[in-house]
């Protein structure tokens, strides 16, 4: 096993023993917050320690079998060699599993998200494409039994959306959607194009984890401007005739959020405040971590076609993710929410990159 992984295992083993000692102290339960945090960390480290024990035991068995394989008795030697082959295969599987356990976990993976879609370059066609993306993510949510709700939207003049903010709730939402962040480019012939020319448009997607620390974020009411307005909708008997939609402007940061999901102004204000806190906390993290700020800028982009992470090519029935150079030729199914193959490939590529970093030490 390479040195960097052995060093990591030494760190984990030392930390595991320290937590074990702390949890054995009679007064530890007096601080419930600390106790819960330690028991959670203990549970996360336990599989790594157990896997390492399995590897150590297998390595010992290999050493013993190697000695026996030098026996002069041909039958005993043959049996030992067969056992050695089996043990080495077993060790290889254990080591690969251990590497997976040692990979750093994203603490946000299990969280719900705020997903934003904004039309970029391409005018009406970009707005229409943002509508396609919203439908795609809605279908993904259905397939995974996630709950999706619209927080705010601005409709395009000829359909689709200029911008749209949704909240998605469910199991491991951020884990599966975080790689959707970036600029999505579409190439197709618009319905209004009489010459049959292919147009290229783009939408930017941002995926923000709904952070549990929101309760710790205090927002001074004096720094908020609150506007109410009528929610936009399809009209008819359900059209909103009251000013229930809420727009919050955080004056110091300039961050503006809207919520027009429900008919209750109070509930819309609560949801808008949650989104505002999420954005403020995200901004605070960015200030503390320059690299994260750089990544965030790359993630959101400007909505320009050249910043694409993925291209949806209608004439060729092809979706290409440029980060992993992977193409799928089934555009209709993909836009219907069948993105599992691409999502899995992106997760695997991310893990491979993390593993390479781990092995370099």
> Domains of the chain: which residue ranges?
3-102, 113-214+302-352, 216-288
Does domain 216-288 bear CATH number 3.40.50.1950? no
What fold, for 113-214+302-352? Alpha-Beta Plaits (3.30.70)
Specify the pLDDT at position 4. 67
- The CATH code of the domain at 3-102 is 1.20.58
As a whole-number percent, the residues of the chain with pLDDT over 90 amount to: 34
Residue 352: what pLDDT? 79
pLDDT at 306 over 70: no
- Among candidate residues 127, 124, 138, 155, the one with its CA nearest the CA of residue 231: 155
Residue 237: its pLDDT value, please? 41
Q: Which residues contact 88 (CB under 8 A, 6 or more apart)?
A: 62
- Amino acid 12: pLDDT: 85
Q: 75: burial class by Cβ within 10 Å (0-12, 13-18, 19+)?
A: exposed
Look-up of token digits 């908020």: 224
Sole residue written with tokens 């991310």: 350
Beta bridge partners of 259: 246
Average pLDDT over residues 216-227: 82
* pLDDT at residue 239 is higher than 50: no
Whether the model pTM is above 0.75:
no
> Distances from the Cα of 7 to the Cαs of 3, 4, 142, 212, in angstroms?
6, 5, 43, 32
Please tell me the distance from the alpha carbon of residue 42 to that of residue 50, in angstroms, as a whole number: 12
What would the pLDDT profile of 55-113 be if each residue is shown by its tens digit? 888 989 999 888 888 878 888 888 888 989 999 998 888 887 887 777 777 888 889 99
């Amino acid at each position: 096993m390479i040195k960097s992984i052995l060093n990591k295992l030494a760190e984990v083993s030392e930390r595991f023993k320290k937590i074990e000692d702390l949890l054995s102290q009679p007064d530890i339960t007096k601080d419930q917050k600390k106790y819960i945090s330690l028991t959670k960390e203990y549970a996360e480290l336990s599989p790594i320690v157990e896997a390492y024990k399995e590897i150590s035991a297998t390595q010992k068995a290999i050493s013993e079998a190697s000695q026996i394989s030098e026996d002069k008795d041909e039958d005993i030697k043959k049996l030992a060699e067969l056992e050695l082959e089996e043990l080495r295969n077993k060790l290889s599987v254990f080591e690969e599993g251990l590497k997976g356990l040692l990979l750093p976990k994203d603490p946000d993976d299990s969280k719900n998200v705020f997903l934003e879609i904004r039309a970029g370059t391409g005018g009406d066609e970009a707005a229409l494409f943002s509508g396609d993306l919203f439908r795609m993510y809605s279908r993904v949510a259905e397939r995974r039994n996630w709950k999706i709700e619209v927080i705010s939207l601005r409709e395009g003049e000829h359909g689709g959306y200029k911008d749209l903010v949704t909240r998605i709730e469910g199991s491991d939402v951020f884990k599966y959607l975080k790689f959707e962040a970036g600029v999505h480019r579409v190439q197709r012939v618009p319905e209004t194009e009489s010459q049959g020319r292919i147009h290229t448009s783009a939408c930017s997607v941002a995926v923000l984890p709904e952070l549990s620390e929101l309760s710790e974020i205090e927002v001074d009411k004096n720094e908020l401007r609150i506007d109410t307005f009528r929610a936009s909708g399809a009209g008819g008997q359900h059209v909103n005739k009251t000013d229930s939609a809420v727009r919050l402007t955080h004056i110091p940061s300039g961050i503006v959020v809207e919520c027009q999901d429900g008919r209750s102004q109070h509930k819309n204000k609560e949801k808008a405040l949650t989104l505002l806190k999420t954005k403020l906390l995200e901004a605070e993290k960015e200030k503390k971590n320059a690299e994260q700020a750089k990544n965030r800028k790359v993630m959101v982009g400007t909505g320009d076609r050249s910043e694409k992470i993925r291209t949806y090519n209608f004439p060729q029935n092809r979706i290409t993710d440029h980060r992993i150079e992977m193409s799928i030729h089934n555009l209709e199914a993909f836009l219907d929410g069948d993105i599992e193959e691409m999502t899995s490939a992106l997760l695997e590529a991310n893990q491979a990159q993390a593993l390479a970093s781990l092995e370099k030490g």
